[in-house]
């Protein structure tokens, strides 16, 4: 490493340590900088020493601060959930665009594998603010196979006063929604799916994700097992209304997932969407 790289690593460690100090003192970073004379009490000192040693051993800062910003809001995170990533904000944007463009009366928004709830809470929060004036109604549902993740999602919904607007259910992919979707088979349906898509080898090789739950990362042998099952479950529901399914993937998986999707949907309904670096990050099924 060059001197410049070493200096920048040291500077970023200093910034993170400062955030930890602010966290244990329950103040913000500017207060910490302005009060070098403040003496930490025993409890604060112990907590800071523990968090600093976790930071040194590679724990992500978001877990140590117990929060992460996503789509303009702060979300509680714990090691039971994936730390929400900025690229997933494109799913929120697509949902809001879908809601604005299509003037359907009753739209259903589902977030499968909700984790911290960042996607559905951001979608519901924005739509809910607009809906108050329009008086049209939407249904918001979020599910996860992990009970611990659902608890975190519910904490976040409560924090943003959206708990009563979102249904939370535990279960495999679309199974918790089967009955609801059968009853509402003609309603426009938007599905957000950022499901685990890494192979076990990819997960093991990537040090930066070592502290995140394997259940949130590994998608079977080729990473596509959950998406394959989701497409099968969705096709078997025989929904007759408009459908928008947005699946986040690793760019290299695009050709295989498109091939899978073609088993159930005509090619004109299948789209690719790139992230800001121009790599195919989403596969979309869009049927009006």
Ligand X SMILES: C[S@@+](CC[C@H](N)C(=O)[O-])C[C@H]1O[C@@H](n2cnc3c(N)ncnc32)[C@H](O)[C@@H]1O
Binding mask 127-166 for ligand X (x = CB under 6 A): ----------------xxxx--x-----------------
Q: How far is the CB of 60 from ligand X (least distance, A)?
A: 13
Question: Contacting ligand X (CB under 6 A), which of 215, 235, 237, 258?
Answer: 215
21 or 192, CB closer to ligand X?
192
By CB under 6 A, tell whether 82 contacts ligand X.
Answer: yes
Task: State in angstroms the smallest separation of the CB of 150 from ligand X.
Answer: 9
Near ligand X by CB under 6 A: residue from 84, 125, 141, 223 = 84
Nearer to ligand X by C-beta: 120 or 270? 120
Signed CA dihedral, 190, 196, 202, 205: sign only: positive
Question: Smallest gap, in angstroms, from Cβ of residue 144 to ligand X?
Answer: 5
Residue 94 Cβ vs ligand X, minimum distance, rounded to whole Å = 13
Q: How far apart are CA 123 and CA 104, in angstroms?
A: 16
Query: Which residue lies nearer to ligand X by CB, 16 or 89?
Result: 89
Partner residues linked to 198 by β-bridges? 218
Among 94, 95, 108, 195, contact with ligand X (rule: CB under 6 A): 195
194 binds ligand X (CB under 6 A): yes
Min separation Cβ 31 and ligand X, Å: 30
Q: Report the alpha-carbon distance of residue 43 to residue 41 in Å, rounded.
A: 6
Compute CA distances 30 → 6, 15, 21, 48, 62, whole Å: 25, 12, 11, 17, 19
Ranges within 236-265 binding ligand X (CB under 6 A): none
Distances (CA, A) of 163 to 103, 140, 149, 167, 179: 25, 10, 15, 8, 22
If one asks whether residue 125 binds ligand X (CB under 6 A), the answer comes out as: no
Measured from the CB atom, the residue of 27 and 151 that comes closer to ligand X is: 151
Residue 202 interacts with ligand X (CB under 6 A): yes or no:
no
The answer to whether 64 contacts ligand X (rule: CB under 6 A) is no
In the numeric block, which tokens belong to residue 259?
């091939």
From the list 44-52, 93-101, 193-201, 260-268, the region that binds ligand X by CB under 6 A is 193-201
> Does the footprint of ligand X cover residue 65 (CB under 6 A)?
no
Structure tokens at 215: 């259940």
Span from 76-84, 156-164, 233-241, 268-276 in contact with ligand X (CB under 6 A): 76-84
Site string for ligand X, 168-187 (x = CB under 6 A): ----xx--------------
Pairing mode of beta strands 166-170, 137-144: parallel
Q: Which two tokens stand for residue 38?
A: 């403040």
Q: Which residues bind ligand X (CB under 6 A)?
A: 81-82, 84, 88, 112-116, 118-119, 143-146, 149, 172-173, 194-196, 215-216, 226
């Amino acid at each position: 490493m060059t001197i410049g790289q070493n200096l920048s690593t040291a500077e970023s460690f200093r910034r993170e340590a400062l955030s930890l100090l602010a966290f244990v003192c329950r103040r913000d970073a500017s207060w910490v900088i302005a009060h070098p004379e403040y003496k930490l009490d025993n409890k604060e000192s112990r907590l800071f020493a523990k968090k600093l040693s976790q930071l040194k051993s590679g724990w992500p800062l978001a877990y140590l601060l117990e929060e992460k910003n996503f789509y303009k809001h702060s979300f509680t995170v714990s090691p039971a959930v994936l730390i929400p990533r900025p690229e997933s904000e494109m799913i929120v944007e697509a949902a809001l665009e879908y809601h604005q463009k299509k003037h359907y009366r009753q739209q259903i928004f589902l977030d499968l594998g909700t984790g911290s709830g960042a996607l559905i809470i951001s979608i519901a929060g924005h739509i809910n603010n607009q809906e108050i004036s329009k008086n049209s109604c939407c249904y918001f549902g979020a599910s996860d196979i992990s009970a611990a993740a659902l608890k975190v999602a519910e904490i976040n919904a409560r924090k943003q006063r959206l708990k009563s607007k979102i249904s939370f259910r535990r279960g495999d992919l679309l199974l918790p929604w089967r009955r609801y979707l059968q009853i509402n088979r003609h309603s426009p349906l938007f599905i957000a799916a950022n499901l685990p898509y890494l192979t076990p080898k990819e997960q093991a090789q990537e040090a930066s994700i070592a502290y995140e739950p394997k259940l949130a990362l590994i998608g079977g042998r080729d990473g596509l097992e959950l998406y394959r099952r989701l497409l099968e479950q969705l096709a078997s529901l025989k929904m007759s209304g408009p459908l928008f399914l947005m699946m986040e993937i690793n760019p290299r998986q695009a050709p295989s997932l498109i091939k899978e999707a073609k088993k159930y949907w005509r090619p004109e309904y299948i789209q690719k969407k790139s992230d800001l670096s121009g790599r195919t990050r989403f596969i979309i099924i869009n049927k009006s």
